Structure 1
Amino acid sequence: MALNWKLVIDSADAPVLADFWAAALEYEVEDPSPLIEQLLAAGHLPPEAVREHNGHNTFRGLAGIRHPEDPFDPLSGAGHGRRLLFQDVPEPKSVKNRLHIDVHGVPGELEALVKRLESLGAERVHEVDQGPAGHWWVMRDPEGNEFCAA
C-alpha cells in the first residue's frame, strides 16, 4: 500500500513563505482558525501559540498549503493530498538544499512563468541549458531556498 506524505520545509517566517508558495503553485493556504478557536476556547492552546496572519489565526511558526482539488479537513484546514508544511526553525539557511521543488509551467512559456515567480518574490540564479533536452531556471524563493522553473 502506498504511503501518504507531505513535504516539510524549514522557514524563518512560515506564513509568509506559505503565501509565496501558494501563489507560485496556485495552491490554497490552509486555514486552521476554526480549530484554533476551539482549542483556545477549551483552554487546550495558550494564546502565545497563536499568530494572526492575513486576517486568520494560525499556529505560531507553522503554515500549510494544499492542492485546491485535494480533500481536506474543514476543521483544521489540513490537506489530505498534495501538501507543503512550513515550520519555523531558529537557525538560518546556510547551505544548498538537498531537496527542492521543480515548478513546471505551460510548455513554451518558461519566460512568462519565471517573470510571474519573480513578481511574487523569487529571484533567478542561473539558467541551465541542456540543448535539445530543453532548459530551465534555477531560482530562489524569498527565503533563499533553491527551486527550478521549467
Structure 2
Amino acid sequence: MALHWKLVVDSANAPALADFWAAALEYEVEDPSRLVEQLLGAGHLGEDAVVEHRGRRTFRGYAAIRHPDDPYDETSGVGHGRRLLFQDVPEGKSGKNRLHVDVHSEPGGRDDLVARLVDLGATRVREIDKGPGGHWWLMRDPEGNEFCVA
C-alpha cells in the first residue's frame, strides 16, 4: 500500500513562504482556523500558540499548502494529497538544499513562468542549458531555498 507523505520545508516565516509557494504552484493555503478555534475552546491550545495571518487564525510557526484538486479534511484544513508544510526553525539556511522542487511550465512557457515567479519574490540564480539534456533556470524562493524551473 502506498504511503501518504508531505514535503516539509524549514522556514523563518512559514505563513509568508506558504503564500509564495501557493501562488507559485497555484495551490491553496490550508486554513486550520476551525481546528484552532476548537482547540482553543477546549483548552488544548494556548493563545501563545496562535497567530493571525491574512484574517485567519493559524498555528504559530506552521503553514501548509495543498493542491486544489486533492481532498482535504474540512475541520482541520489538512490536505490528503499533494502538500507542502512550512515550519519555522531558529537557524537560517546554511548550505545547498539536499532536496528541491522542480516547477514545470507548459510547453514554451518557461520564460513567462520565470518572470511570474520573479514578480512573486523569487530570484534567478543561473540559466542552465544542457542542449538535449534540458534547459532550465535555477532559482531561489524568498528565503533562499533553491528550486528549478523547466
User: Per the alignment, in what secondary structure is the counterpart of residue 18 of structure 1?
Assistant: helix
Aligned residue in 1 for 2:35: 35
Aligned residue in 1 for 2:85: 85
Write out the 4+ residue segments of structure 1 that deviate beyond 2 Å after TM superposition: none
Letter in 2 for 1:20: F
1:54-69 counterparts in 2 under 5 A?
Answer: 54-69=54-69
User: Per the alignment, in what secondary structure is the counterpart of residue 8 of structure 1?
Assistant: strand
Instruction: Determine whether 1:140 maps to 2:140.
Output: yes
1:87-106 counterparts in 2 under 5 A?
Answer: 87-106=87-106
Structure 1 residue 8 displacement after superposition: 0.3
Aligned residue in 2 for 1:70: 70
TM-score of the superposed pair, with normalisation by structure 2? 0.99
Spell out, residue by residue over 1:46-95, the C-alpha distance to the aligned partner (whole angstroms, 9 max, x if none): 00000000000010000000000000000110000000000000000010
TM-score of the superposed pair, with normalisation by structure 1? 0.99
Structure 1 residue 133 displacement after superposition: 3.2
Letter in 2 for 1:7: L
State percent identity of aligned pairs.
73
Q: Structure 1: where are the runs of 5+ without partners?
A: none
Tell me the distance in 1 between the aligned counterparts of 2:99 and 2:46: 34
- The CA RMSD measured in Å over matched residues stands at 0.6
